Amino acid sequence: MRVLGIETSCDETAAAVVEDGRRIRSSVVSSQVDLHARYGGVVPEIASRAHVELINDVIAEALVEAGVELGDLDAVAACHGPGLAGALLVGVSAAKALALTAGLPYVEVNHLEAHLYAAWLEEPDLEPPLAVLVASGGHTMVVAVEGHGRYRLLGQTVDDAAGEAFDKVARFLGLGYPGGPVIDRLATEGDTGAVRFPRAMLADGFDFSFSGLKTAVVTHVRAHPDDEVRDIAASFQEAVVDVLVGKLVAAADHAGAATLVIGGGVAANTRLRERVLEAAEATGRQAFLPPPALCTDNGAMIAATAWWRLRSGGPTPLDGGVDPNLRLPTLG
């Protein structure tokens, strides 16, 4: 079964063709980073307009790269939330129009479930229960995955998301947007122990808090303007990673999970990936880290999730809309 997956929730226009929920035949991601960089963050109206301009070409490229035509597809899927309303509408409208013209089922996909699902896309034999950390620009949560579609939310951020902390700190340090990849690169040359920034709520349940850390960085830099930026970046990143890894391992202990999994844009972070591997080894677990291109927003994770959703729940009616505040569907 071939599914076209479309992702336009934020600042990436993406489309992919995936076979049977696991074989990626094509995956095209057109990033709008250059359009937003000068504003220091994503401007929703600019994102929506760029999606409108790019969407047809991105979909066409995904089909050509996969060597298929519309008629060779079995379903068309789009991310319907969470995300920016105007941005989501572009992908959902395109998917529904294609489904209608080609007489194919349309499937709406939850953005957060798709980030969880990226692991299964690469490694279909992953055995639940899994402890999964989803950390992106808008969300940070630890989830116990008990099976396909069976998610127990153990904790989430009470204020900023981890990616948001990277973006805000990078902006404050004058490093530009998006902050995650820049800090990731710069931190490799810095001293992780140069400044001991706070690890908020580390030993305190499964919830996260990152806004105090951002304030701590600002306060420190104002008091020590001559500190090396790379040391600040490395020390900040280490504080974020300590908390993310600590909560992921605690979640695995709680859920009796033998596998640690990460997803979402922050899961592309080099230091986080290293530390999750170390934590898995230290606790006798295995770790599964999807490749960075499947961690940041992409169409393949949408197509893979849609494949499973279509088999378990059937298609979505064509009057299905978007939901900018959509939550992960969880157990109890």
What are the helix and strand counts (H, E) for the chain?
11, 10
Given a contact cutoff of 8 angstroms between Cβ atoms, the answer to whether 187 and 161 are in contact is: no
Q: Which does 299 bind (CB under 5 to 8 A by kind): Zn ion, ligand KG4, none?
A: none
Report the residue from 91, 163, 299, 315 that binds ligand KG4 according to the rule CB under 6 A.
163
- Interacting span for ligand KG4 (CB under 6 A) from 90-98, 99-107, 179-187, 312-320: 179-187
Report the residue from 129, 155, 190, 264 that binds ligand KG4 according to the rule CB under 6 A.
264
Classify each residue of 196-227 as buried b or exposed e, where b means 16 or more C-beta atoms within 10 Å of its C-beta. Answer: ebeebbeeeebbbbbeebbebbeebbeeeeee
- Interacting span for ligand KG4 (CB under 6 A) from 47-55, 72-80, 131-139, 304-312: 131-139
Report the residue from 55, 266, 300, 306 that binds ligand KG4 according to the rule CB under 6 A.
266
What kind and span of H or E run contains 144? strand 140-147
Considering beta carbons, is residue 6 or 268 the nearer one to ligand KG4? Answer: 268
- Residues 321, 52, 304, 74, CA torsion sign: positive
Considering beta carbons, is residue 116 or 250 the nearer one to ligand KG4? Answer: 116
Contacting residues toward Zn ion, per CB under 5 A? 136, 297
Residues in CB range of 34: below 8 A, 6 or more apart: none
Given a contact cutoff of 8 angstroms between Cβ atoms, the answer to whether 177 and 166 are in contact is: no
Considering beta carbons, is residue 181 or 190 the nearer one to ligand KG4? Answer: 181
Interface positions with ligand KG4 (CB under 6 A): 10, 136-138, 163, 166-167, 178-181, 184, 264-266, 268-269, 296-297
